[in-house]
Structures are given as structure tokens and as C-alpha cells.
Structure 1
Amino acid sequence: MKNLRKYIIVAFTTGAVLASSCKKLDEYNPGATTLDVAYNNKPGFEGLINACYNDMFFFYGKVDFIGPSEMGTDLWINYGANDSGFCVYDNTLNTSTGSIKTIWGGWYSAINLCNTAITFSKTVKGYGSQTEIDTKVAEAYFWRAWANFNLVEQFGGVVLRTQSSAVEQSAVSAKRSSEKEFYDLIISDLKFACDNLPLSQSVRGRVTKKAAYAMLAKAYLQRTRLGDKEQYGKLALETAEELINNPAKYGCSLYLSDATTSGFTKVFDGKNNKNNPEFLFFQAIDAISGLNPEGYNRGRTRQYYEPDLGGRGADWGTQEKGVLYGRSNVKQYKPSSYLLTKIFDPRENTPDTRFANTFTYKFYASADKPITSQLATTYQKDASIVGKTILNTTAFYSGPDYFLPAGTTLEEQKNMTNDAGLAVFTPNWNIPTDVKKKMPMLVADPTDLFDPATNDYKLPASFPNEPSLINIFPAFKKFSSKMWVYTNQYWMGDFPIIRLGEVYLIAAEAALLSNNDQAKAAQYVNVIRKRAAITSRESEMIVTPAEVTIDFILAERARELAGEHTRWIDLKRTGKLTKAYFQSTNPSVALNFNEKKHVVRPIPQSFLDAIINSNEFGNNGY
């Protein structure tokens, strides 16, 4: 029997993998013993199941998965030179791109761990019944499906592995499998998970039946892009409706609106983050004891979407690093004009609360900031605001909506009345020029930000008579609630991977694909649209069946799910990864887009160097 020292198979403890638990389960350290001894007993086998969770922590809340999942779409624009390969498909997207290696390695690592667990589930001892074993190994089947789903969507038909390298020698050559073969295994694995996972788990963050049904519905819907749309659309609809029609059984529900707060607002309220009935499948983060891979180094997603709060913003009183807003020195991604003004309703008095809860568009002063005549002249402001002071809003805060007992200094804790401390204002609606000039703050509305000729951010050279606001814009904030901020970089909230809100939109799209049932599609879309408004304005959000098309649902998915790691595969599924589509929505992406290769990612050079048939295997056209 092979020795474990030959393999990188680390059985992470439950405390490290499922961060929500403050105490570790019994763990088994196989050390240098043989595989059959290590994993053929219950403690060792359950340590192996724990390890299957580890790799997902390096996708959600980390930068490496933002580019592959959200960029190069209609919703976002590259901010500077960082990650330009994913954003604009230039030649920095190649076989040596760092994030490519990270996601490829992470998914294959998870697959290998899951394959090992599935192999040893057939011989493991110490369980009272086969049902107990199936309940436990169903977690490995789920995670293998999750990894293969992401792998095939990003890289296409690559190597479909069903054997563990711990028990079978890895081949020196590689053979591609078809995308349909990938989906056959993904669907089979998720069916097993649906049948065998428990309805609930004692440790928060463990996958359950609701996660399996949600993932299966998503996989069925994505499978429609390979053909058989009616068949797989019907399966996606039936699977989604299993959750929608039986919320009590699965312990899930939508947040609904009331007279003062929309249901969508409640989804991302920090008070609801750690016990959220809408989160069907999520990454659980231990905010108290830091029992996570990399400890407290979590939730850095928010820092990559920050505007220039330390430059133009600082002129008006903001700071480059703040606990509430994050750290604005990274400068990678910003919202497109299409997202801000076409996807979201560009009206101040919109009934739809999703823009306001997806973006921070008001940034407050970190110290008193007098408005000088020089500042007013530089930013072409009216002289009437000279001499006014933007008031400091920072103050010590320890609760009730903040989890660190010691508290911290946060922006937006005083001088909020009448926005007395408002320094930078970036609405997605336009304000008359004469009104803006008299507003005692930096105002950047869409007319200030976007060039009508290019539908992109204004280049300073093209608008020499205007102050450059190219790096001022609303900041993505879904994963930034003040209740879970830890530092100016780290955010310790849970990350939803599939929400019940998405399942309703899956059902709507599937209803159209299966038999063009616009009435049913509208029914599910309207549930989501109504809960985006307070109850008194729900009627304004209702759409008719005739309005509900695949394109309408695609836009609705953007309103609901922007920034939640879905957009690239949504465009792929709906046939929108095309130059023509990007020319009409986000021209900066269209410039380099090549439909013959940019629907998949390059194969990592490290993998090609490790096989003897790399020329035969190919690199996906890169």
C-alpha cells in the first residue's frame, strides 16, 4: 500500500474548514500511516470529508475568482492595469496568468480529495449502516460536482477525473472528455447528494439537501447551453420548484418586504448574515475565533471595487483606508455605464432598492473639510459653497450592529443629518448641472463619469475642460456590511454562493426554455421584483408575461446577482459572449474579444508542462 508521505492529501480539521464552528470535532491525523489505515476508519474518513470543503475558501471572498466569474462581461470595467486579461481579453490572459493556475489547481485539488473520499466510502468501517456512510460521502459528491461545474464552464472539456491520485498513479498524458460527459457526472453526483444529504447539519456551513437541489437546478439550467433545452429546462424547473414549493421542508425562505424595508435590503443586512434562510449554499466564516483557512484573512472582495477615495475623494474629506469602506489602493474593478444606467433604474425615486443595496454611492468625511475657493474652482463649483465645512463623521462605535466587542472607529457615525458629512456622492441618476454646482460635496453622476460617444468612462485627454473623475464611481458593497468589518481589508461575513432568490430566476428562465411558459416565468420574476421594493411600491415592480423573455431575465439576474460570481456563465449560457453583444453593452470589452477562443480560458502552463502530450491536448486556442 502506498505511503501517505507521497501525496499531498491533507485532512483539514473541521475547525479550519467549517469556520462557523468554534470547537473542533474529533479529528484524526493519519501522519505517515498507510491509506487503508488512515481512511478506512470513521475518524480518518471524516477528516477526509472535512478536507473536501477547504478549496472553496480560496474562491469566495478572494480576488482570484472575481476575474473569471464577473469580469469580461457587460457589468464591469477594468480599473487600471490590474487583471486586464479577464476584463478586456488582452494578451495578459494566457497560460501563465496567475488566477488561471489558482482556479485550475483549486478545483482539481477539490476533485482529488472528493475522489479519495468516494473511493474509501466503499470500505470504511465504524459506521452503523450504509445510510450513515452515504449521508457523509454525499458531501464529497456535492463538492466534486461543484468543482467540475466550475471547471467545465471555465475551461470546457478538459480532464474528467474520477479516480484519486492517492490510490491510482497519475497518467503522464492527458485525455480530454466532452462537456456533455462532464455534465453527466455533475448531474449524477448532485442527484446522489439530493438523495442522501440530510435536511440539516449540526455544524453551520455543511451542505444539506437544499444546497444540493439548488446546485442541481443551476447545473440543469447551465446544461441547456449544450442542447436539449426543452429537456434540461424542464428538469431545471422541476428541481427549482422542489425548493420553491417546499420551503418549510428544506428550512429556507425569501426575505419579504414590509412598509419600511425591502426584502432585498434584508438579505444583505449584517444582522441576517450568519443565520440567513435565503442562503442555500454558502461559505461559513468564523468571525469570532478565526477558525478559517488563513484565519482572519477573509472577505477581501470589497477592496477590489473601491473608487479613488485617497485622491479625488481626499480633496473633499474622504480617506484612502477606512474600516467601513475598505482599502482603496488596489483599484481593479468599477461598474459599467450599462450596469449603472441600463440594468439599474437610473432614477432617484425608483421603487427598486437593489442599486442602493448593491453599491455604496455616498462616502463621508473622515475629518472636518472646509471648502476653499481653490477647491471650488478646481471642481467647477459655484462660489456659494466656499466657506462651508463638510463635517467629520468618524466616531468610536461598538454596536449593536458590530461584532467586535472592543469596537472601532467607523465612518458614518455622526453628522449624518441632512448629509452634513457627505463628501463624495456618486448617484446612478443625473442631477441638473446648476444644482450640482451648488451642492457642497464632490458629485459624480453618469453625465460626469461617462463619455456618450463611447459609453465608457471619460478619458481626461478627451475632456480637458472638466475635472477628471475617471476613478470616482459607486463601490460594490454587498459584502461590506459594517456588522462584520474586521479591518480596512478583511470582512468576516458569510458568502452566499446560491441564494433562494436565484432559484426563482432559474425557475423563470427554465419555464421559458422548457415550453415558453411566459405566465409562469412572470410569476417567479415578479416575486423577486416585488420584494425589491417596500410594500407600498410593490405594484410598480410588476411586469406582464409578454415582457418576460430570456433577455429580460438576464437583466433581472444582473439586478439581483451583480457581483455574486454568476455573470460570466450567465452570458455564456444565454449566448451573449459575443463581440456584437459587448459592442452594444460594454464596448471596452468588445475591442479584443474573440468568439473563437474567449468562451473558455487558457490551460495553465504548469499543467501543460507536466504532461507528455501537451501539443495534442492543446491550450484552448491561446
Structure 2
Amino acid sequence: MKNRKIYNILLVTVWILGGVSCSLDEYNPGGSSLEALMTTQNGFKQAINNCYFGLQRSFYGKQIYIELAEAGTDLWTAKQNSNTNANYFKYAEGGSMNLNMAQSIWNSGYDGIGSCNLALAQADKVIDWDSEEVKNEILAEAHFLRGLYYYNLVEIFGGVTLITAKNEGVDMAPGRTEPLEIYKNCIIPDLEFAATYLPISRPEEEGRALRKSAKAYLVKAYLTTKEYGCSDYLQAAKDVADELIRDCEAGGADLDTYMYTTFDDVFADANNQNNKESMFSIACSSQYGSVNAWQNNLSWMEFYCNTYYFPAVEKTQESIKQWGGNPEGMFMPSKCLLDLYVQSDNKLDPRYAASFKTLWKANKAFTWSEDKIKEMDRNGITTNTTLGVGDDAIRIIRSEEDNYAALKANKLKAPYMIVDVEDLYDDAGKVKMNYTRQSDGKTVLNPFYYFYPSLSKFNTTNVVVSNWSKGRYGSNASIITMRMAEIYLLAAEADVYLTGGTNANRYINVVRERAGATKYNGAVDIQYILDERARELAGESTRWFDLKRTGKLTEDYLKQTNPDIGQYFLNSTHTVRPIPQSFTDIIENGVDYQNPNY
């Protein structure tokens, strides 16, 4: 039994049990049946789909991955600054962390790696390759995906067990390879192979790797080696980023790269699938009838506030299927994130309005009661005040907006909820947990912290309701794992390392001007790039990795930028996640294999 468990958890799993549906053609035999299938080119192409399934089951767009990638950073706290999912948002609030918090990532990562290793090992047994070119193009998918799996495992867990060959046995005392060695010996070579041989485009096959996918992740992999004290790849990072940028600015003829002309276009409902700015996407679909389709792409529902705390906004099946429908999410923006949208002229970067929902309409008639008036400190209205369907119900305001003064003056008199951002955060950047009512001077739990600017860039009407009563609804919108705008920001980052930022403004201003933000002419350092990444990429499952890569995932930085989170961060522990206990319990060297202090 012990050997069977480790076989399933760490080594090769070439068949998939359950999981969400996908848009690739599934073929999931096991053992010798799969190897027999892989003796022909067509069978091999079918079997290569197995390499993708780990991504779809547990990575991009899944709640745990989103929380691993965005929570616990300078940009977010949990809803109402609560202890909800504290392992991810607040590093267990200084207590004992759930050692299986990233188990699904670990298991699916190694399942995917096993499928990639099997494919690479079986390639020479195929009897009917059309050509060496066709063979390399198909193998490039396995190389790309193995590099992507290892990139995630290394950045999340640190040094892990490097396996690059087909499984031939069980190692009950596996060793760990240092991160930089995994980059040098696997991640970078895999992505370089993929960047050479993957096809330029795949019409009607969204979700499969392309040459631009490999080049994009190659830029990130090259840059990430600096995190481990290596500068050997920085020029290569800049060169590949520049290659992608030149192609984009020349119309994408060579690599099919593209940037939309406006920031709004990136997240338009019409571009929820086959997004042209995407460098690599995970395609989601419920058309195959999977009972787990409701787990597809949960990004759209992770960042919304609890508008249902105000009775004029009611959650219904119809409301969540509408553009801007708002099931309650997990993420509340930090004051740090909201402040980053204030430009030097004290006006808001247009990406704030394009990225955050701040106005909700009533979808249910509501009459203010005496208790609700008291709770919400509405001292300027009476119990016969009503809201009709379609009226403004909740509006979030902030001081940089043109009509702020008038709205603030009317805040407690308006028939709808006006919530000032100043009611949500104190000057130190912490969420205000208490509120002193004007009506009676009593200090109570803050009634406004249920309502806050809610990230809306993942809005979609492409909603799948599998089981309404159990809250099972997902999205068929594709998951963009990286997009062209990020390549400009990675090029700027490389330029800072190589030249001190001499040319970084050129890259940054392409992104800013596309968004309608003011041109930036000041000095560019790593902090400015992180700030720009926040404005452009908030919520896109990059932030934890960004802070780690740039040396900002530290106690001092998080205390300064997001003290609600930083107070719990430990430099000695939290730059990696715990190795799942489900794995360490069944190997002989589990205590030594575990990360420090877990």
C-alpha cells in the first residue's frame, strides 16, 4: 500500500481519474495500453493530451492556485479582512499551517510531469512519424508543459525531486534538487526546445502550446534565475522579450503575437475565448458533460465583495449569469493596491475604472427598516425610504473622483449605500474593523467592510451552473496564463538589471499609453515595475511569484505595504509552501524532505 501511494503521488500517473472537462480530445488508458497507443503518430498525438490535464485539474483558474498566486501579498487581504482561508491569505495567522494546503498542485504537477516523461521516452518507438519536424513539433508540447510544471513546483515549494525519465521503479527516499539546478537542467532546456519547435499557430485549437507560449515563459524563467543568484540569463531574457515585442509591433507575422488597442478590449466578453493577446491559455468547456465543469475558471468569482449583505442586491441564477454578476468572492483589495492607481496628477489611472466594479444596481425592491437605518448609520433617511429595481444600490467612492465631495456630503442621507474607501482603511494601510456611528456614538463592527472595489476584469456571461443549490457554478471563459502586455513589463525588468533601467520607460509607456494612463518619465527601478505590474496584472495569478522573483517577498516589505498580512509573514518560512504531508508521511525521509519550519 505504501509503495502504491508514493507511485501515485510522486512518480508517473499516465491515466487521469476524474478531473474537469477540457477542450482537448481525451484518451486515458493506463499502463501498457497507453504505451501501445503511443507507437503510432496519431495515437501519440492523442496521448500527448494527457500532459495538459494537470494544468486543467489543479492549476490556473482553480481556487487554490489563485490563492497561492495572489493571496499573502501586498495587493490583497481576505474578504472583510477575516481569517477565511488564513493559510493562504495570512500565513495561518502565525499558527500551524495546513501542510496539505497545496496538495492538489503537488499531485497534479507530478502527474503532468509523469505524462510528459512518458511521452518523451516513447517518441523513438513511434513507427510512422511523417518527418523529424512533425516529431519535434509534437514532442515540443511535452517539453513546454514539463518546463511549466517544474516552474510552478519550484517557485511554490522550492527544491523538489527532479524526474526527467520514464518511471521504472519506486524511490522511497527521494532527494531534492536545488532550484537553480532545475532551471538549468530542465526548465530552461525544455522551454528552449519548445521555443524552437512548437508551431506558430493552431487554428481552432485554443489551449495548446504555441511557439510564443514557450518564448514567453522562457523570458520569465530566464529572469527568475536571478532570484537564485544567477545573472547568466538576463541578457537572454531581454533578447527573447525584444523578439516578441518586435513581432507584436510588426503585426505578429512571425510569432502571431498581438496587443489589443485598449485595456478594455483585453477583458471584453467577446474576447473571453481565443483572446489574441494571450501568450498561453487554458481552454475551458462544459460541452463534454463533466460533472466537474463548475470548477472551470473560478477567477470571475474570487474577487467580488459581499453585496448581498445589502438586501437590495440579491443573488439569483439570472444575476450571476449577467455581465458583472457577483457571487461573493474571497479577495479584498489592500489599501496599497488601491493607492497604486493614483497618478501624479492625483487623478485615477483609467485601469482602476476598467478593472474594478464600484456600482451595483438593485435587483430587488427594498424599503429601509429602522434596524437597517441604525446598522448602516443612515441618519438622513426615514423608514419609508425605498429603492426600486434598477436604482443605484451600492456605490464605492474615493477622494480622487471628480464628484467625490458631493457624494461624501450626501453619504448618510442618500437612499442607497454610499461607501467611502476612507471608511475601509486606516492611514497605516490596515482594514478598519470597527466604526463609530454618528447616530449614537457607539463603536460597532464596521458595517461597510462588506463592500469594497471588486476586481471585475474576469467578468463573463459564459457562466456554467451545474448545481445552483450547492453553489456549483463556473465559467467557460478561457484562462489567460500570460499575455503580451506582461512581456513589455518583463523586458523592462530585464533592462533594470542590465542597464539600471536606461530603456525601461520605453517598454512601460507602451503599456501605460495603451491603458490611457499618463506617460511616465521618471526613474524606473524594480519597485516601480512591481507597481506597474500591479496596475496592469492585478488578480492574474502572478503577484506572489513576482514578489518572490524580485526579492520583495519579505516581512519588511509586506509589513510596509500590507500590514494586515505582513504581521504574519516569516522570512525563514513563508517564501516556500509546505510539502504536502500526504507525501512526506509515506516516504522514508519525510522529515528531512519537508521545508524548514513546517
Normalising TM by the smaller chain, what interval?
A: 0.7 to 0.9
Q: Secondary structure at the match of 1:102?
A: helix
C-alpha distance after superposition, 1:585-606 (max 9, x if no partner) = 1111121211011111111111
Q: What TM-score results when the alignment is normalised by the length of structure 2?
A: 0.87
**Aligned equivalents of 1:158, 1:7: Cα separation in 2:** 15
C-alpha distance after superposition, 1:186-212 (max 9, x if no partner) = 110000001110101142221110111
- Among 525, 530, 545, the residue aligned to 1:549: 525
Aligned partner of 1:117: which letter? A
1:12-91 to 2 correspondence within 5 Å?
16-18=21-23, 24=25, 30=29, 33=32, 36-57=35-56, 58-79=58-79, 80-90=82-92
Aligned to 2:245: 244
**Aligned equivalents of 1:293, 1:498: Cα separation in 2:** 28
**Aligned equivalents of 1:93, 1:48: Cα separation in 2:** 44
Farther-moved stretch of structure 1 (424-433 vs 470-479): 424-433
- Among 497, 503, 525, the residue aligned to 2:481: 497
Cα contact 1:373–1:383 (8 A) shared by 2: no
Q: Secondary structure at the match of 1:496?
A: strand
Cα contact 1:142–1:190 (8 A) shared by 2: yes
1:70-469 to 2 correspondence within 5 Å?
70-79=70-79, 80-90=82-92, 96-165=98-167, 168-184=168-184, 185-202=186-203, 203-229=205-231, 231-247=232-248, 248=252, 249-256=254-261, 263-286=262-285, 289-290=287-288, 294-311=292-309, 313-314=310-311, 316-319=312-315, 322-323=319-320, 324=322, 325-326=324-325, 328=327, 332-340=330-338, 342-345=339-342, 350=347, 352-371=349-368, 375-381=372-378, 383=380, 387-393=384-390, 421-429=391-399, 431-432=404-405, 433-452=408-427, 454-460=428-434, 464-465=442-443, 468-469=447-448
Cα contact 2:34–2:47 (8 A) shared by 1: no
How far residue 338 of structure 1 moved from its aligned partner, in angstroms, is 0.9
Which runs of 5 or more residues in structure 2 are unaligned? 1-6, 466-470
* Cα distance, 1:115–1:617 mapped onto 2, change above 3 Å: same
- Among 504, 508, 511, the residue aligned to 2:492: 508
- Among 405, 426, 450, the residue aligned to 1:471: 450
1:529-608 to 2 correspondence within 5 Å?
529-533=512-516, 541-544=518-521, 546-608=522-584
Cα contact 2:293–2:464 (8 A) shared by 1: no
Aligned to 2:4: none
* Cα distance, 1:440–1:349 mapped onto 2, change above 3 Å: farther
How far residue 141 of structure 1 moved from its aligned partner, in angstroms, is 0.3
Cα contact 1:54–1:293 (8 A) shared by 2: no
**Aligned equivalents of 1:115, 1:32: Cα separation in 2:** 14
* Cα distance, 1:147–1:93 mapped onto 2, change above 3 Å: farther
* Cα distance, 1:611–1:375 mapped onto 2, change above 3 Å: closer
* Cα distance, 1:522–1:307 mapped onto 2, change above 3 Å: same
Aligned partner of 1:180: which letter? L
Aligned to 2:468: none
**Aligned equivalents of 1:131, 1:328: Cα separation in 2:** 48
**Aligned equivalents of 1:94, 1:376: Cα separation in 2:** 41
How far residue 11 of structure 1 moved from its aligned partner, in angstroms, is 6.8
* Cα distance, 1:378–1:64 mapped onto 2, change above 3 Å: closer
Cα contact 1:317–1:390 (8 A) shared by 2: no
Q: Secondary structure at the match of 1:510?
A: helix
* Cα distance, 1:95–1:188 mapped onto 2, change above 3 Å: farther
**Aligned equivalents of 2:366, 2:134: Cα separation in 1:** 64
What is the aligned residue count? 562
- Among 582, 586, 597, the residue aligned to 1:610: 586
C-alpha distance after superposition, 1:516-545 (max 9, x if no partner) = 242x21001000001111xxxx5xx1011x
**Aligned equivalents of 2:512, 2:366: Cα separation in 1:** 40
How far residue 426 of structure 1 moved from its aligned partner, in angstroms, is 1.9
| Percent identity over paired residues | 31
Cα contact 1:597–1:621 (8 A) shared by 2: yes
Aligned partner of 1:104: which letter? W
How far residue 157 of structure 1 moved from its aligned partner, in angstroms, is 1.0
Q: In the alignment, is residue 526 of structure 1 matched against residue 503 of structure 2? A: no
Aligned partner of 1:252: which letter? T
**Aligned equivalents of 2:111, 2:425: Cα separation in 1:** 43
Q: Secondary structure at the match of 1:523?
A: helix
Aligned to 1:418: none
**Aligned equivalents of 1:16, 1:41: Cα separation in 2:** 25
* Cα distance, 1:293–1:509 mapped onto 2, change above 3 Å: farther
Cα contact 1:52–1:110 (8 A) shared by 2: yes
Q: Secondary structure at the match of 1:122?
A: helix
Cα contact 1:286–1:492 (8 A) shared by 2: yes
* Cα distance, 1:83–1:92 mapped onto 2, change above 3 Å: farther
C-alpha distance after superposition, 1:362-388 (max 9, x if no partner) = 111112224456644542335368755
Q: Secondary structure at the match of 2:245?
A: helix
Q: In the alignment, is residue 10 of structure 1 matched against residue 29 of structure 2? A: no
How far residue 183 of structure 1 moved from its aligned partner, in angstroms, is 0.7
* Cα distance, 1:465–1:597 mapped onto 2, change above 3 Å: closer
Aligned to 1:399: none
Cα contact 2:74–2:337 (8 A) shared by 1: yes
How far residue 502 of structure 1 moved from its aligned partner, in angstroms, is 0.4
Q: CA RMSD in A?
A: 2.9
* Cα distance, 1:496–1:449 mapped onto 2, change above 3 Å: same
* Cα distance, 1:560–1:428 mapped onto 2, change above 3 Å: farther
Cα contact 1:75–1:336 (8 A) shared by 2: yes
Cα contact 2:101–2:580 (8 A) shared by 1: no
How far residue 491 of structure 1 moved from its aligned partner, in angstroms, is 1.9
C-alpha distance after superposition, 1:110-137 (max 9, x if no partner) = 1111111111112222211121111001
Q: Secondary structure at the match of 1:239?
A: helix
Cα contact 1:63–1:300 (8 A) shared by 2: yes
* Cα distance, 1:307–1:291 mapped onto 2, change above 3 Å: same
**Aligned equivalents of 1:293, 1:199: Cα separation in 2:** 34
Aligned to 1:406: none
Q: What TM-score results when the alignment is normalised by the length of structure 1?
A: 0.84
Aligned partner of 1:300: which letter? L
How far residue 18 of structure 1 moved from its aligned partner, in angstroms, is 2.8
C-alpha distance after superposition, 1:448-500 (max 9, x if no partner) = 11133x42221137774465222221222222223x23347322211110000
**Aligned equivalents of 2:243, 2:289: Cα separation in 1:** 34
